[in-house]
Copies of this chain bind each other. A is one copy, B any other.
């Protein structure tokens, strides 16, 4: 039986409030108001909450694991520059489950798609820098 504790509630609330937070980000938010909470507790609660399906796990290669609350299956876009993770505006490919499930005796359970690129903010920043450099060389 999993018990309700103050720490569990804090972890869940923080995970829901933040956007694709890592365990460390969740810990930092909580520790500000509850200085005694430990990272171990945050990790243990995140483990329980994902195991029981209350939270989702965003498996991003290279870097810390992230968590989310948007439960229907969806994909993620990751910024190569700043590491930000956002839900991808790309429809879930139902048929991919079916098509791929018969390959090579591999029993398919699910699939993830990760879109790698540069997020809006970082792209804008690059553009600004480029403009600035052009102005400099023109002046």
How many residues of A are counted as interface, with CB atoms below 8 angstroms from the partner's CB atoms?
36
List of B residues within 8 angstroms of A89 by Cβ: 100, 103-104
- Residue of B62, B86, B110 near A106 (CB, 8 A) is B86
List of B residues within 8 angstroms of A138 by Cβ: none
Q: Tell whether A117 is near chain B: CB-to-CB under 8 Å.
A: yes
Q: How many copies of this protein are present in the complex?
A: 2
Task: Check A109–B103 contact: CB distance below 8 A.
Answer: no
Task: Check A117–B123 contact: CB distance below 8 A.
Answer: no
Task: Check B123–A115 contact: CB distance below 8 A.
Answer: no
Task: Check B112–A113 contact: CB distance below 8 A.
Answer: yes
A89–B117 alpha-carbon span in the complex (Å): 25
